[in-house]
Amino acid sequence: MTIRPHVGEPIEYGNAASFWVEYPSGLVDLTRETHLITKKEGDAAATNGSHPEPPLHGTTQLEIPVDDQRVVRIAKSRSAIVIVDMQNFFLHPDLRDHPTGLACVIPLNNVVTVLRTQGVKILWVNWGLTEHELTTIPPSLERSFMKSGRGGFGSRLPEPFGRMLMRGEYNADLYGLLHQLYLEGKKEGTDVWIHKNRMSGIWGYQTALDLYLQEHGITTLFFAGVNADQCVLGTLVDAYYRGYDCIVLQDCIATTSPAGGLENVLHNTTNSYGFVTDTTRVEEAIKKQSL
């Protein structure tokens, strides 16, 4: 993969209310807290071309190495991890063979535990349809979840899984230890369960995820879940269009698609949608700042 060259001088992207600042060192400041000083302001620092990086505030900010030889600085209180569809329907061995999805469970468990200590919101974004929503599903989406004209949303799965992707059914529960992980976070007030009714969790304004992010002032999103090139990508791209900062956790996304599906997501995230890192770098960054 071609590495994006470092900038020759600090650059501010965006607008007065929502902006990033990238520095020659490779730091990309996503906190929206410190604008570059401009010559129009008549500051001596701007006149002589000096734009020092603002100091890291370890109690409220976090710096994480990402691909492309960059480091992103985030505001902890305005960050969340969006975990998409880590449900029995997509992961349980009695329903499908998804070894790469199952491989995401342990690193996801570990990083969620660490992110909670930093005040990062934990958002479990899952299919969970109501009877009314069954009547609003568009034909293309309904067809994609049927096999040979059979099954589909709301259909009966083998016991004990219940009706396909309906709220409260066992197949719509989080898989394995992730269910207990969520319950622990719910009790602590760190984790939130958000239902979705499309491939994307933020496909339209006034979706539950969209409302939550706006109400809590969230600007930076980590992404995890399955399938990487379907529901995760749909949510990621819609978030990108809305102006959220998007960071993919590479070891926490997977897909059942043929070779190239996952690679396409990672390539386009680094080159367009945002940034790619992994749980090891996140955990090490938090540990380093805690020393």
Using one digit for the tens of pLDDT, what is the confidence trace for 179-234? 999 999 999 999 999 999 999 999 988 899 999 999 999 999 999 999 999 999 99
E runs forming strands in the chain: 11-14, 19-22, 27-29, 61-66, 70-75, 79-84, 121-127, 146-147, 150-151, 191-196, 220-226, 245-254, 274-277
Contact in structure between 118 and 62 (CB atoms under 8 Å): yes
Phi then psi for 255, rounded to 5 degrees? Answer: -150, 155
What's the first-to-final CA gap in the chain, in angstroms? 34
Rounded to two decimals, the pTM is 0.95
Distance CA 85, CA 63 (A): 27
Evaluate the omega torsion of the peptide bond into residue 138 and state whether it is cis, within 30 degrees of 0. no
Is 48's pLDDT higher than 60?
no
Distance CA 276, CA 271 (A): 10
Count the Cβ atoms, other than its own, within 10 Å of residue 222.
29
Q: What is the Cα 15 distance to its own chain's centre?
A: 23
Is 86's pLDDT higher than 70?
yes
Element (H, E) at 142: helix 139-144
Distances (CA, A) of 283 to 143, 236, 274: 41, 22, 20
The architecture of the domain spanning 76-278 is: 3-Layer(aba) Sandwich (3.40)
- pLDDT recorded at residue 196: 97
In the chain, domain spans: 11-75, 76-278
What does DSSP assign to residue 276?
E
Evaluate the omega torsion of the peptide bond into residue 227 and state whether it is cis, within 30 degrees of 0. yes
Contact in structure between 278 and 246 (CB atoms under 8 Å): no
From 106-120, 141-155, 260-274, the region with the lowest mean pLDDT:
141-155
